[in-house]
Amino acid sequence: MSATRRSADGFALQVMVGLCLIWGVQQVMIKWAAPDIAPVMQAAGRSGISALLVGLLICWKGGWDQVGSTWRGGLLAGALFGLEFFFISEGLQLTTAAHMSVFLYTAPIFTALGVHWLLPSERLRPVQWLGIFLAFIGIAIAFAGGVSWDNLDHRMLMGDALGVLAGASWGATTVVVRASRLSEAPVTLTLFYQLIVGFVGLLLIAILSGQVTHVSLTTVAVASVLFQGVVVSFFSYLTWFWLLRRYLAANLAVFSFMTPLFGVTFGVVLLGEELSLNFVIGAVLVLLGITFVSAEQWVRRHLRKALGQP
């Protein structure tokens, strides 16, 4: 029998603020360390470190016995996970960390579309369709750097597109987990598949593209990889899954939208990035749309209260 999940309380809010701070600064760390170590090498390094840590955790708590029934879904989820971080790595060389923070978190939109077609029990409701519409309108506005094509920053536009592709890959990873036997596997095993396959794939890409030589073990480079591998990919992901087992996912989803806000803030404050008006307007619409999709029940409940309905 599954444990009853409760509404988010003050403790959950405090933990979510901490997690969103960690996730929000992630893109900034990657871009900050890029001159010393190629972003794709950072992604490979973080995946390798966290895969080792998660593997040791599985050895301690168990879970390897389910490999025989889950490895196919695990390989696919891992490939998509690696693809996500490849798009992030390449995109951050073209666009700002602030832009990447927003476009990466379009993932719930793609997850919702995927499960709508694959899982009859999770069909999209009208409020969620409205959210998808708002999100894609927001993406279009954020992409529009000017009235004419000549005024667009084509380099940034390509980086932003890679950010959306990263979000789509993340969303597809979630769909694979939800629609395969991974949905019944231990969280640690599912995470291990993503990390180990991502590590191998990203390292291969780095070798084939020659980026494996773009590594200088400076303090910034080492700190970035260790932060991503230990704090982000290991500690924060396991904490997030722990919260999902105890609190309602819709409540946590609302709090998680602090992440791109933190990401944008860190990009502006720490990296001196500038924000255009069209990006700010588009980002607001994207975040509003994601809220409608991921926290539909929460949105619907509050709309009823606002309209005085029971």
CA pair distance 139, 285, nearest whole angstrom: 8
pLDDT for the residue numbered 197: 97
pLDDT for the residue numbered 251: 67
**pTM for the full model?**
0.86
Q: Do residues 33 and 42 lie in contact, with contact meaning Cβ atoms separated by under 8 Å?
A: yes
Beta strands in 105-157 (DSSP E): none
Per-residue pLDDT of the chain (310 residues; tens, 9 = 90+): 345 667 777 888 899 899 999 999 999 999 999 999 999 999 999 999 999 999 999 999 988 999 989 999 999 999 999 999 999 999 999 999 999 999 998 888 888 888 888 777 667 788 888 888 888 898 888 876 544 445 556 788 899 999 999 999 999 998 898 888 998 889 999 999 999 999 999 999 999 999 999 989 999 999 999 999 999 999 999 998 888 778 876 667 777 778 888 889 899 888 898 888 888 888 888 888 887 777 666 666 666 665 565 5
Cα 167 to its chain centre, rounded Å, is 7
CA pair distance 229, 234, nearest whole angstrom: 6
